[in-house]
């Protein structure tokens, strides 16, 4: 089965450090989403890309977060500097953005803890 691969699975870092999360979307999928999941806020859309172009990152704190897609096989989400309130699970999802709409596929997530 094709899958979305996220690395690392877990990350513990100190406040102020840079964090980089990586996502390898499914080959042929041209839409990539980044979500953050917390108990309080649920699933928040941070950014999304279509054909590697960033289309919407309005949900992302611009002063510390950045999202890029340097090529079709890699999407990155960076936090610099990290803060304890960034602790969450970060999901990447990819999809073909066309019929048949058989679901966007999620990665296993990166569980980030900032201490």
Partner 1 sequence: AQKITQTQPGMFVQEKEAVTLDCTYDTSDPSYGLFWYKQPSSGEMIFLIYQGSYDQQNATEGRYSLNFQKARKSANLVISASQLGDSAMYFCAMREPAHNNAGNMLTFGGGTRLMVKP
Binding site for partner 1 (CB under 8 A): 31, 33, 35, 42-43, 45, 48, 50, 53, 55-56, 89, 91, 93, 95, 97, 101-106, 108-109, 111
Please say which residue, 28 or 63, places its beta carbon nearer to partner 1.
28
The closest of 73, 68, 71 to 46, measured between CA atoms, is 68
Residue 20: partners with Cβ closer than 8 Å, 6 or more residues away: 76, 77, 78
Least CB distance to partner 1 at residue 65 (A): 18
Return the SS3 of 17: coil
Please say which residue, 43 or 115, places its beta carbon nearer to partner 1.
43
Please say which residue, 27 or 53, places its beta carbon nearer to partner 1.
53
């Amino acid at each position: 089965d094709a899958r979305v691969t996220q690395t690392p699975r877990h990350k513990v870092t100190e406040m102020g450090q840079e964090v980089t999360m990586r996502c390898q979307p499914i080959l042929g999928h041209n839409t990539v989403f980044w979500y953050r999941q917390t108990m309080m806020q649920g699933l928040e859309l941070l950014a999304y890309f279509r054909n590697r172009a960033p289309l919407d990152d309005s949900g992302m704190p611009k002063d510390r977060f950045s999202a890029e897609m340097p090529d079709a096989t890699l999407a990155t989400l960076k936090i610099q500097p990290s803060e304890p309130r960034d602790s969450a699970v970060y999901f990447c999802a990819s999809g073909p953005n066309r019929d048949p709409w058989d679901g966007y596929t999620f990665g296993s997530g990166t569980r980030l803890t900032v201490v």
